[in-house]
Amino acid sequence: MMGLAKTLLLASQLTAVVVATPTINNDNELTTKWPVCVKPTKVLDERIPTVKRGPVETPLPTQPGMVNNCNKFCWVQAGNKCYQVAMENHISLADFLKWNPGAGSDCRTLWANTYACVGVSKK
């Protein structure tokens, strides 16, 4: 038998799924063609093996939009800012933002726990 605390937790989690997932029908059944939206509960600080992307192996994960000719990477930790990452890698902020457009022109969308590009090869 579940205790009251566990029952309330389960109810709140189910409510969150229903609110975040408009594809649940009126009978509270999931349809088969659409994903379920759930809020992540834990972020892993686990680095994933590399993937081949041209002559250089790109480490994963990376933020979408990174340039294809990147040949030098930096792990972005929580709390890092674009200017800080750029200075620590001896590149200009303009280059960092050009090579990592997903970070946004004001660096408000830089993802933590991903690799960023801090060097490129000449095409």
DSSP string, 70-81: EEEEEEEPTT--
Model pLDDT, residue 34: 54
pLDDT band with cut points at 50, 70 and 90 for residue 29:
low
Q: How far is CA 40 from the centre of its chain?
A: 11
Q: How far is CA 81 from the centre of its chain?
A: 15
- Does residue 33 carry a pLDDT above 90? no
- Does residue 42 carry a pLDDT above 60? no
Same domain? 5 vs 54: no
Same domain? 12 vs 64: no
Same domain? 27 vs 11: yes
Number of folded domains in the chain? Answer: 2
- Does residue 94 carry a pLDDT above 80? yes
Same domain? 23 vs 52: no
pLDDT band with cut points at 50, 70 and 90 for residue 56:
confident
* First and final C-alpha spacing in the chain: 64
Cis peptide before 61 (omega within 30 of 0): yes
Same domain? 5 vs 59: no
Range 67-80 average pLDDT: 95
Same domain? 74 vs 100: yes
* Cα(15)–Cα(19) distance, integer angstroms: 6
Model pLDDT, residue 88: 96
Q: Is 118 helix (H, G, I), strand (E, B) or coil?
A: strand
Same domain? 57 vs 87: yes
Q: How far is CA 109 from the centre of its chain?
A: 10
DSSP letter, residue 96: H
CATH number at residue 92: 3.10.350.10
For 98, the domain range is 48-120
- What is the CB-side half-sphere exposure of residue 2 using CA atoms within 13 A? 8
Same domain? 62 vs 105: yes
* Cα(74)–Cα(97) distance, integer angstroms: 14
Poorest-pLDDT segment among 12-21, 69-78, 98-107:
12-21
Model pLDDT, residue 43: 55
pLDDT band with cut points at 50, 70 and 90 for residue 37:
low
In the chain, alpha helices (H): 4-20, 82-88, 93-99
Mean of per-residue pLDDT scores for the chain: 79
Same domain? 60 vs 10: no
Same domain? 34 vs 52: no
